Structure 1
Amino acid sequence: MAKAMFLVASLLVLSNVFIANAAFEPTLIADMAKILMDNYCSPEKLVGMQEAIDAASTNTEILSIPDPETLANVLTSGVQGTINDKRLKVSYEPDYVPVVTPQLPPLPPEQLVAVIQNSIKLDILDGNVGYLRIDHILGEEVADKIGPLLLELVWNKILPTSALIFDMRYTSSGDMSGISYIVSYFTEAEPLIHIDSVYDRPTDITTELWSMPKLLGERYGAKKPLIILTSKNTKGIAEDVTYCLKNLKRATIVGEKSAGSSVKIDTIKVGSTDFYITVPTAKSINPITGSTWEVTGVTPDVEVHAEDALATAIKIVNLRGQIPAIIEGSATLIADNYAFEDVGATVATKLNELLASGEYNMVNTKEELETKLSADLKSLSGDKSLKTTSNTPALPPMDYSPEMFIELIKVSFHTDVFENNIGYLRFDMFGDFEEVKPIAQIIVEHVWNKVVNTDAMIIDLRNNVGGPTTAISGFCSYFFDAGKKILLDKLYDRPSGTTKELWTIPELTGVRYGTRKSLVILTSGATAGAAEEFVFIMRNLGRAMIVGETTAGASHPPETFSVGETDIFLSIPTIHSDTTMAHGWEGAGIAPHIPVSAEAALDAAKVILNKHLPGQKSTR
């Protein structure tokens, strides 16, 4: 370590200012290194320092720098770079005056009032949001002297607010004994909390800081929103308070990364010279993280420029003020509209319990709220379709020409006829019945007629993500005979409390495939929604063999609901298939008759059909 420090200085000496005779006492470096050895807060970084002290006594090159301030800068660069700590500093100060923490003199009440009013800024913002700026954190002794005045002039005005913005963007000084005081006002009296541990190197003593069971005045409590504003000028004790409250998950930090200073920095005279070395002599070790904010600084939860921090904090507070109504409104919508009534009631209850437990207390943005709410709804219901969504209006129908429809259909549908006259039909989304009906004849001519005369058919839904279910009855009907009307499914609509029956359609465009020819449907974990409804019907009625993977377990197309007067929207499945007819597929998926990987499903279907087609040879 010391070699690296000496190298920096030596390079400068050799290139610019080499002088044969030393300008300063040879003991300077040794004395400085000794101070670090005895006082630096992280002794584990000083491995090898003793050897450096011994070597320093014979090194005169660095001391050949004639200008003391230049020497101080060189030494600072060396020690900072070697120990990797920007807080270390060597200075040359012949007129050095020790900094003494000002003591509060005995003042009459009116002057004390003026002192408090000048050092603390207080405001009550719109929405009953408190704003408190303190540029110096008071210690226990001062707080005891002016505590009653602080209560009267500041704290009692803050207590009734619904949320507090604590501005420490300009807080660069403070007393260590103030850490427990401040943190305690934002926690409960019981149980006591281990807030921090501070290791003091000169005394080799670690002091544990705990929350305080008794305070002057009332606590702000642990539930009301607390936002702390920080900047690169937030230093020392203010950083410790910020870090403690952040890791207790009691405060949201908004602004810039803090300075990365120390809970205690001492400036120590080097021997009998006018050189001084500034050394962090104590360090904070957070009991939750096991690490410290020192050197690196406290990283905000929401990082913005310091000048934008207050406006950002106000937005966060306003959002959090809306969250209870949003969560409660979401719970009500789900309880009243979710397709399965018992599940909807359970989800609503548990969602309100999450709100009451404080799960949503630390949400900072609308995007975070939507992401968390979606994750919670999926976890509570097991339904991927129950989630937040955007209220994107449907695009108006395009005015296609017949030629454009033909090209669209060619892209949307894939057909083939394999060996042994096995038809293959793939499409990846279901269309709305009203939109499909005008082009039914085009679909029949350019798609259906290519596969309808085959001896067996493979319908590939492995990539079908669903769509409207309005065309399900019509599509199913092609695989049943015209002479008999068949009940395909019953759909229960929760909001209206009604059940709709799906029947085969007696009249279709084009020729039916009928019931006598074999039909295999390919599925995957991506097969969802309307595609699952089709698979469910065909499997339940014994009309098709299902080959592939269990389907996604999605839902009938959900409806979009606005949560109150907010711009939060929920996607809620409101319809489910009649579970009295067969085991429902919503949320569970549909298991295939022949389970194989999606990639192997087509080959497996070909083998199955080739074996069962009479008089035909197998392709494998």
Structure 2
Amino acid sequence: MVKALFLVASLLVLGNVYFIHASFPPSLLVDMAKIVMDNYCSPEKLVGMKEAIDAASSNTEILNIPDGESLANVLSAGVQTTVSDPRVLVSFEPNYVHVVPPKMPPLPPEQLIAVLQTAIKLDILDGNIGYLRIDHILGEEIADKVGPLLLDLVWNKILPTSALIFDLRYTSSGDISGIPYIVSYFTEAEPLIHIDSVYDRPSNTTTKLFSMPTLLGHRYGTTKPLIILTSKNTKDIAEDVAYCLQNLKRATIVGEKTSGGAVKLDKIKVGDTDFYITVPTAKSINPITGSSWEVTGVAPDVEVNAEDALATAIKIVNLRVQVPAIIEGSANLIADNYAFENIGADVAEKLKGLLANGEYSMVVSKDDLEAKLSADLKTLSGDKSLKTTKNTPALPPMNYSPEMYIELIKVSFHTDIFENNIGYLRFDMFGDFEEVKPIAQIIIEHVWNKVVNTDAMIIDLRNNIGGPTTAISGFCSYFFDAEKQIVLDKLYDRPSGTTTELLTLPELTGIRYGSKKSLIILTSGVTAGAAEEFVYIMKKLGRAMIVGETTAGASHPPKTFQVDDTDIFLSIPTVHSDSAVGPAWERVGVTPHIPVSADAALGTAKGIFNKHFAGQK
């Protein structure tokens, strides 16, 4: 540390700051360094301090600064840089008088009431939301004296509220013994919780703070929403309270990052001089995080300007009031409509269990709720298609001219003819059958006729993200013969409880490829939805070889459901393929016959066909 101070001193000399006579005793630096070394709360930051002290006695250039205040500023900057702690301050105060905070004198009840009403602000907001502002954290001694009055004037009015906003934006002082009192009112009586540890450097002792088994009055409990408001002026003990409750997952912090103060600061006189050094002599170590809020401050869960914190907190509370009904409604929709009935019932039951266990008690916004609900639904069901969604209205149909359709088709479909007359067809989305029907002839002329007369075909669905399954029957039919109608799949619709057969179509636009020519379908982890249904059918019926990666394991196009009268919407798959003949593709995907990376799939398919046709020559 002292070495850092002399670096500052040398800079002053280089800046032509020169004084002939030292104004302060040479022992000042050594005495100051020893105070820090013996009292600073984080001794691990003081490595090498002893050597620095030894060097200080012969390096006193900095003491030539004649002005005590200027020297104090230079020393503060040096010591703060050395220990990376802005809380360590050096001051020059010739007239300093140490003041011991007076103990609270006995006061008549009416005066106590006036004091408490001035120090504590209480309000009951719309929606039965309690608002409590305390600008000083009371310690055990004072709390014992004013406890009964606090109950009558404040706490008993807070208890019936449905949620509490605890305003610590202006709280800059307090007593460390008040921490367990406040935290305990928001926890259960048993078991006791280790909420904080305070290490005191001068005594080299650590005091563990636990929640309290008995309290004056009733506890607020662990289930009602608790929001703590903070600002950059929230300091010291208030920071500890906020940090403890935040890491216990009991409170949501809204506002600004706090100041990063200390649980205990001592102002110590340096020798016989008029210099004083303020040192954090104790530090908080949270048992959950293993770290502290000191220096860095408490980071809010929802960061907003201090003046906006109350309005933001009210919005969060109002959302949380709706959460139980939203989760219950979501569970009921899934139980009644999810394609796989047993899984839907299990997901619904477990979702309600998460709600009962408080898993949704800390959501802070609609987006946060939707993200958590989606993640939980995916985890519980194993189905990435079961999730929250936006209620986006369908776009009106576009009135394209024939020329525009031709250009659109050219962009949407890719065809090629490889060696040995191998056809290649790629498209990246399935269209709705009713929308495709009017332009079927255009697709035949500009796409299908380019590949239909090949000796084998590669259908590339590696980038096909799905779409409506209404076109599946028609597309599959091109690869079977017209003479015999084939059951491609059976689709079970959960809401109606009905099963529909997907059959090949007896009549098609254009020429069939037929059932005899070889077919390879390329897949990847992107291949999803309707594309998977096509791959599943063609593999199940032995009509095609599948090369590539296991498909996405999505679903038939899900339906959108509104959760009661809220603005939360769920995407729920309601249809599944016939699982009586074996595992369906939903949730797990279709496994290829030849697993290779998506990038290698086309080369592998071409190699298979080239080898096959070479053997025929």
| Pair 1:607–1:44, CA change in 2 (3 A) | closer
Contact 1:491 1:575 in 2 (8 A): yes
Matches within 5 A, 1:379-458: 379-458=379-458
Give yes or no for contact 1:5–1:81 (8 Å, CA) kept in 2.
Answer: no
Partner of 1:123, secondary structure, is strand
Counting only pairs closer than 5 Å after superposition, residues 278-357 of structure 1 correspond to structure 2 as 278-357=278-357
Letter in structure 1 aligned against 2:316: I
Whether 2:207 is the aligned partner of 1:207: answer yes
Please give the per-residue CA displacement for 1:328-354, whole angstroms capped at 9, x wherever unaligned. Answer: 111011000000100100000011111
- For residues 540 and 556 of structure 1, what CA distance do their matches in structure 2 show? 17
Tell me the SS of whatever aligns to 2:464.
Answer: coil
Matching residue's letter, 2:381: S
Q: 1 CA distance for matches of 2:416 and 2:43?
A: 76
210 and 489 in structure 1: CA distance in 2 versus 1, 3 angstrom threshold: same
Distance in 2 between the 1:173 and 1:225 partners? Answer: 25
Aligned residue for 2:510? 510
Amino acid at match of 1:182: I
Deviations 1:420-466 (A, max 9, x none): 22211111110001110010000000011111111221111111110
Residues 27-86 of structure 1: per-residue CA shift (max 9 Å, x gap): 222221221122111122222222333333333321111111111111111111111110
Specify the code of the residue in structure 2 equivalent to 1:211.
S
Q: What is the SS of the residue equivalent to 2:560?
A: strand
CA contact (8 A) 2:2 2:29 kept: no
For residues 450 and 46 of structure 1, what CA distance do their matches in structure 2 show? 79
Distance 1:45-1:608 versus aligned 2 partners, 3 A rule? closer
TM-score, normalised by the number of residues in structure 1:
0.97
Q: What one-letter code is carried by the residue in structure 2 that aligns with 1:81?
A: T
Please give the alpha-carbon distance, in whole angstroms, between the structure 1 residues aligned to 2:16 and 2:182: 52
Runs (5+) with no aligned partner, structure 1:
none
Structure 2: which amino acid aligns with 1:370? Answer: E
SS of 1:547's equivalent in the other structure is: strand
Aligned runs of 1:135-154 on 2, under 5 Å? 135-154=135-154
Match of 1:181, as an amino acid?
A: Y
Instruction: For residues 86-106 of structure 1, give each alpha carbon's deviation from its aligned partner in whole angstroms, at most 9, with x where no partner exists.
Output: 011111112212243232111
The answer to whether the Cα contact below 8 Å between 1:269 and 1:276 also exists between their aligned partners in 2 is: yes
CA distance in 2, matches of 1:13, 1:448: 87
Q: Deviations over 1:571-608 (max 9, x none)?
A: 10000111123431111211122222222222222233
Counterpart of 2:274, as a letter, is D
1:267 corresponds to = 267
Task: Name which of structure 1's ranges 307-316 and 10-19 shifts more when overlaid on structure 2.
Answer: 10-19
User: What's the offset of the Cα at 1:613?
Assistant: 4.2
TM-score of the superposed pair, with normalisation by structure 2:
0.98
Residue in 1 aligned with 2:367? Answer: 367
Aligned equivalent of 1:254: 254
Q: Is the 8 A contact 1:383 1:554 kept in 2?
A: yes
String of CA shifts for 1:306-328, please: whole Å, max 9, x gaps: 11111111111111111111111
Corresponding residue number in structure 1 for 2:42: 42
CA contact (8 A) 1:420 1:616 kept: no
Q: Report Cα offsets for 1:372-401 as digits up to 9, x if no partner.
A: 111111111111111111111111111111
Deviations 1:274-326 (A, max 9, x none): 11111111111111111111111111111111111111111111111111111
Q: Which amino acid aligns with 1:152?
A: D
What is the aligned residue count?
Answer: 617
Q: 1:13·1:64 contact (CA, 8 Å) conserved in 2?
A: no
Counterpart amino acid of residue 350 in structure 1: K
Deviations 1:551-586 (A, max 9, x none): 111100000111111111111000011112343111
Amino acid at match of 1:305: N
Q: Is the 8 A contact 2:269 2:276 kept in 1?
A: yes
Inter-CA distance 75–615: structure 2 relative to 1 (3 Å threshold): closer
- CA offset at residue 146 of structure 1? 0.6
Quick one: distance in 2 between partners of 1:314 and 1:413? 52
Partner amino acid, structure 1, of 2:301: D
Which secondary structure state, in structure 1, belongs to the residue aligned with residue 124 of structure 2? strand
Corresponding residue SS for 2:176 = coil
> In 2, Cα distance between the equivalents of 1:52 and 1:444?
87
Measured at CA, do residues 593 and 53 of structure 1 come closer, stay the same or move farther in structure 2, by a change above 3 Å?
Answer: closer
Moved over 3 A (4+): 610-617
Q: Deviations over 1:184-225 (max 9, x none)?
A: 111111110111111111112211111111111111111211
Question: 1:14 Cα deviation (Å)?
Answer: 4.8
Aligned counterpart, 2:462: 462
Equivalent AA in structure 1 for residue 431 of structure 2: G
> Hey, what does 1:484 align to over in structure 2?
484
Per the alignment, residue 608 of structure 1 pairs with 608
Q: Structure 2: where are the runs of 5+ without partners? A: none
Partner-residue secondary structure (3-state), 1:605: helix
Name the CA distance, whole Å, in 1 between partners of 2:180 and 2:451.
Answer: 79
Deviation per CA, 1:466-522, whole angstroms, max 9, x where unpaired?
A: 000111111111111112222111111111111111111111111111112222211
Q: Distance in 1 between matches of 2:78 and 2:605?
A: 74
Looking at structure 1, the residues matched to 548 and 35 of structure 2 have their Cα atoms a distance apart, in angstroms, of 73
1:447 is paired with a residue whose SS is helix
Write the letter of the residue equivalent to 1:268.
I
**Match status 1:126 vs 2:134:** no
CA distance in 2, matches of 1:604, 1:162: 64
Cα RMSD for the two superposed structures: 1.4
Q: Structure 2 CA distance, aligned partners of 1:50 and 1:441?
A: 91
Structure 2 distance, partners of 1:172, 1:355, is: 36
CA deviation after TM superposition for structure 1 residue 610, in Å:
3.4
Task: Tell me the SS of whatever aligns to 2:15.
Answer: helix
Who is 1:116 aligned against?
A: 116
What per-residue deviation string (whole Å, max 9, x for no partner) do you get for residues 253-287 of structure 1? 11111111110101111122211111111111111
For 2:249 and 2:79, locate their aligned partners in 1 and report how far apart those are by CA, in whole Å: 36
Which letter maps to 1:58? Answer: S
Q: Which amino acid aligns with 1:590?
A: V
